[in-house]
Structure 1
């Protein structure tokens, strides 16, 4: 590997090396924190460089070990993958700083003090590996890395509630992995390769029935990971019980890895497939059922978990449209939602630390007691609801415009469903604001006010600023996502970069 290609493995390798060092430094928590922050910060800088290079000159390809594809492992940083890596590393870095401020990683109640940092870094490496993977088996490896780490993180502390809900998460995750692995085996038996660039050439030659069967198996596996309806029932019960930093990074990233896998396979491997109608139906049901569940919740964490499910539907809608406009808006919305959803779960952690609960029935008066937390909630909540001019509004507007341009009964139905979902999201966010922040306290304070660590507030504020920045740079960002969507639709730039001379 030479030039920029040598940088491609670093967003995977640096967190893994950091995990090894933090494990060796198990009894030196200050050094653990330093190593974790340095490894993620360096990885973020590398990812930004790769995004700029991919935008200027096309996909950057690393052939691991010098073995040429399709024999060897290949990592590909095209505009989509590089953008996802940049956003994921920015978010994981902020959540890591939040956790350091909260000291959850060091002295949290009943929490093992030696495993948070190495496990968290392995999770990050799994996420970046999944985004950069150039073949289906390495994508599977990325999923397994992040899932193995998530099994540990979701049960940190070993409390009865966390073990019980974590067990559900483990069972569902193992099931999706088994389906994915079966799909990988079937794809290889049908085509003789797992390299995605080569699959883009060979899958078109398969009989329609075989091709559709492979597509549906992979969609089923990725649909469970992305928590689309009706495969999302596990999520609202699993995420809210974990520590706030863990819940935040799970909500922001793990489902988006599933969405990314759907985008990648539907555009590169199965363009214009027969599953388009199915995806549109799933997208509409995910939006509506998820937001109806959110409107009925009385706990902030569960409410945000249901909005997480609901807004996955917007992304699937953009993928189902299969147009450049739809894909560009979907990618933009993924970037927006990773940032905003993570922020809201961190805010829920601040509320819990300040008031001792996230149950709306026990909250009140937070706008007076904790005005900074009120501001940190209000901005991303309005962004999630799609209030102009925030990025949530711009992303939804792009998706709805793409749906209108597509025409037809089903796209128009999804446009209506998306509009209703946005209004109900505003209702849910306003309800939290009115009850938790605006009304008088329901339970008199029994102890002096808790002073939250500055690092927790600072990390959350950084993500709020990042969410606002997405609005400020929405024009250039839409330019990047449009270029990424154009390349995804064409497929040739990806195939030519991985297999020089093989692309038509």
Structure 2
């Protein structure tokens, strides 16, 4: 029966009645900005010459917004905003802690660097087929995945970035691109299906998909709930997304086929979203099951590291070689997940941030090497040091960083991970990390000797779509400066990543931001 018209209705049990603080809009601003820019670029589809000059200022604003969000979270703790003002777990929540905020900022920086390079590399045809709208949609999916507080919406944002990545991958419609896209699509669609099955399974067990609500209910699980099976499904799904062994073969078969800008963005962003989701779901939501799977994750980590670095040693195409380096880095991050301690998780997060910046820079660098040398094959490249000594020096810096050598950013996360492994008695995991670093040094030493130091023996045609110098060199130089800066002054990032890891180990602040009253659904 309807209540009388003059009866006061108490909405506080269902809705957020307090005004939303202005600063809390920062939680959803990155996603709204990316979708809005993508829509604007679509409306200007007949004026593609303007796309880059609209996208780049928009990405600068995105970097500033993500930086403001990170500062807010670092100062005040996790922030939550629910859609439609419905109280969680019924309202869709965007919940941001240090882990999500720092990953979102790194993604925005990588996208800005890639868009600068794209000004010179992406032709009129590529812009007409939607490079910049696809880029904004991709970044909306990546940002949404890092900022959401709901497992189903994590799946939705995965779908958003997957759809946009298909468009970017086939930009140009060349035979090699179509072949790479097919392999990429099949494996990722299988992983997405497994993810969706896992989400349905999760809802059947807990009756909710809000991450904070699941984390609280998982503390006192139903003894009959098959949580280990559920955790195993998530591990397989996210392992495929992250290109972990033995489901890593799609990455080197596809990442070398698109434009260099696209390869750089994929290497910097997509596999890291898989690692982020793996850490968020297993470590924060299912910690007991994550600890039970630790030996398996450690085995997968070692196999992934070795498969990646051995593939890099045997590869003669520079782009494919970098794909194997991406895989090897995923294994290093998984080592931190396997350790499960604050030190291990902090090292994995630090390495993920380092890898996002470094791998983007390395792919852009490979594009410049091909421009100078006429191709990507190490058999044809040569004499790059003589052609541009400063470019050779910049390359050497990035090669050292990828190998984990001091004083660059790749050194410190490996130190943290090795120390965490030794502290937990996993000396074999520490040995695998050190061995991988040594073999990576050999792989990049081979690249430098063949492509840079060896005199050039043949003149190949210069690749098409030659980038304008400043548009190609500026983003590489900026990313290299970050690699050097975080190597020389690692303390702020070390402190930030350790705080992020502690927040995953003890998510009480995250839970309180979602449920200030201290209880979810029962």
Which of 83, 107, 121 aligns to 1:88? It is 107
Match of 2:79 in 1: 60
Deviation, structure 1 residue 224: 0.3
2:262 paired residue number: 246
The alignment's C-alpha RMSD in Å is 1.7
Partners of 1:23 and 1:114 within 8 A in 2: no
Per-residue CA shift, 1:166-224, capped at 9, x if unaligned?
01101111111100001111110111100000000123413376110111111111000
The correspondence for 1:412, drawn from 427, 447, 465, is 427
In 1: Cα distance, 2:204 partner to 2:413 partner: 39
Q: What is the total number of aligned residue pairs between the two structures?
A: 497
Could you tell me which residue of structure 1 aligns to residue 29 of structure 2?
10
Correspondence for 2:273: 257
Report the Cα distance in structure 2 between the residues aligned to 1:481 and 1:491, rounded to whole angstroms. 15
**CA–CA distance in structure 1, aligned partners of residues 299 and 355 of structure 2:** 21
* CA-CA distance at 1:362 after TM superposition: 0.3
Unaligned runs of 5+ in 2: 1-19
Counterpart in 1 of 2:297? 279
Shift of 1:485: 0.8
Partner of 1:296: 314
Match of 1:465 in 2: 481
Aligned to 1:266: 282
| Corresponding position of 1:454 | 470
Is the CA contact (8 Å cut-off) linking 1:381 and 1:429 kept in structure 2? yes
Q: Is the 8 A contact 1:203 1:211 kept in 2?
A: no
Q: TM-score, normalised by structure 1?
A: 0.96
3-state SS in 1 of match to 2:382: coil
Partner of 1:220: 236
* Counterpart for residue 180 of structure 2: 165
Q: Distance in 2 between matches of 1:112 and 1:9?
A: 28
> Is 2:345 the partner of 1:345?
no
Tell me how far apart the structure 1 counterparts of residues 460 and 256 of structure 2 sit (CA, whole Å). Answer: 24
Matched with 2:205 is 190
Question: Do the aligned residues in 2 keep the contact of 1:363 with 1:435 (CA within 8 Å)?
Answer: yes
Q: Does 1:97 align with 2:116?
A: yes
SS in structure 2 of the partner of residue 401 of structure 1 = helix
Change (3 A) 1:198 1:346: same
1:424 pairs with one of 429, 439, 448: 439
2:352 counterpart residue number: 334
Task: List aligned pairs for 1:426-445, cutoff 5 A.
Answer: 426-444=441-459
Task: State the SS of the aligned residue for 2:245.
Answer: coil
The CA deviation string for residues 376-431 of structure 1, in whole angstroms up to 9 with x for no partner, is 31111110101112111111011000000001xxx211111111100000000110
Matched, 1:389 2:407: yes
Unaligned runs of 5+ in 1: none
2:16 aligned residue: none
Residues in 1 aligned to 2:459 and 2:162: alpha-carbon distance in whole angstroms: 41
Pair 1:42-2:42 in alignment: no
Alpha-carbon distance in structure 2 between the residues aligned to 1:192 and 1:213: 17
TM-score (norm. length: structure 2):
0.92
2:384 to 366, 369, 373: 366
Larger radius of gyration: 2
Tell me if structure 2 keeps the 8 A contact 1:112–1:157.
no
Structure 1 or 2: larger helix share? 1
Name whichever of 208-217 and 20-29 sits farther off.
Answer: 208-217
Post-superposition Cα deviations, 1:275-324, rounded to whole Å, max 9, x if no partner, equal 11111111111111111111000111111110110111111111111111
Q: What SS does the aligned partner of 1:298 have?
A: coil
